[in-house]
Amino acid sequence: MNDANELDLVAVRAFLGDKLAGFDSEITATKFAHGQSNPTFLIETKAGKYVLRRKPPGILLKSAHAVDREFKVQSALSATPVPVAKMHLLCEDETIIGSAFYVMDHVIGDTYDDPSMPQLSTTARGAVVAEMGRVLAALHNVDPAQVGLADYGAPGDYCARQIKRWSKQYYDSETGAISDMDRLIVMLNERLPQDDGQRTLVHGDYRLDNLIIKSGGTKIRAVLDWELSTLGHPFADLASVIMQWQMPHGAEGRGLAGIDRAAFGLPSDQEFVDRYCGARGIDRIQDFGFYLGFCFFRMAAVLQGVKKRALDGNASNPKKAISLGAHVPAFAAAGLRALKQD
């Protein structure tokens, strides 16, 4: 089956029937609307609910959609202070459903697409964001070697390596020239900070809508969507949070631009960064604008890949993918502005 929006339930049952509880009888699958990169399905069985996340079928960019890495890092983090869903099974045999996939627990809780969280009280909003910072600091404090992830990322300068990787993937999926993107790539290479030796686990797309919050509470029950995770520089992970908040408020940008954060009980960018530094016991971050510009660049490259997959017929949600791809020039321009910050 080669449609990213479909799942061969007969094949899933045949493979998992003797491996996981509930798959030996009738099951149903409902595709989640989110998850542009790797199609994700809620699986309901007589024994309970699971989530199945698969690579999209078809021709893919090299190194993209690595569900095996998602499974590995979440399995490794299960015994750490970082909350993740329980992993059950990884299948790398593409003959089963047409691509590799893994199965994990369905974690019950609340998710928020709007970072202003209008449905919560002022106090609760502040508590959720404080929890975001606590968990991010906890992730960066995990010793990769102690959880079996010493080899989870390539050695060397993370930022230089990532700029090279995403520049290649951007140009491999380019559908038209974007001059600001070309300029941003050049300037990031020119502005590379000296490698300070920090090398931690990084999520790569850490933001509110990738978190499951305890229903009626403020604690994080699971961090989702680990596709971009690797060993890298923690400040790039931190900057990805700030990048999201600087986007326009609303369904498309899902940012906080124009929101009176103090009135909503939300911290400023600098307050969030300062609290993170306090949680990790580190000094003020130098040249944070570089890390912010890098995050805008990487997201632009990701969105370009989403658009290219839609045009090639491999997108999980083609209409939304085209819409997301239209924002690449705006992300490139924002990256250039970020590089002007201290």
* Residue labelled with tokens 């016991």: 281
Q: Which of 270, 267, 273, 279 is nearest to 134 (CA)?
A: 279
Q: How wide is the angle at C-alpha 226 spanned by C-alphas 220 and 229, nearest 5°?
A: 115
Torsion sign across C-alpha atoms 218, 220, 225, 230: positive
CATH number for 122-338: choose from 2.40.30.170, 1.10.730.10, 3.40.50.300, 3.90.1200.10: 3.90.1200.10
- Residue 5's pLDDT is 65
**Cα 247–Cα 251–Cα 256 angle in degrees, nearest 5:** 35
Q: Which pLDDT does position 324 carry in this prediction? A: 82
CATH topology of domain 9-105: Phosphorylase Kinase; domain 1 (3.30.200)
Residue 61: per-residue pLDDT: 54
- pLDDT at residue 58, as a whole number: 63
Task: Please tell me the distance from the alpha carbon of residue 331 to that of residue 340, in angstroms, as a whole number.
Answer: 15
pTM of the model: 0.87
Handedness of CA 75, 168, 329, 324 (dihedral sign): negative
DSSP classification of residue 91: E
Domain ranges of the chain: 9-105, 122-338
Tens of pLDDT, residue by residue over 150-178, are 999 988 889 999 999 999 999 999 988 99
Nearest to 88 by CA among 142, 36, 141, 43: 43
48-54/40-45 β-pairing? antiparallel
Can you give the pLDDT at residue 154?
A: 87
Number of H helices, E strands in the chain: 11, 9
E strand spans, 254-312? none
Helix (H) / strand (E) element for 264: namely helix 261-264
At 155 the pLDDT is: 84
Whole-number pLDDT of residue 60: 55
Are residues 140 and 200 in contact, defined by beta-carbon separation less than 8 angstroms?
A: yes
Map residue 226 onto helix, strand or coil: coil
Residues of the chain with pLDDT under 70: 1-5, 34-36, 58-65, 316, 342
Contact predicate 249/237, CB 8 Å: no
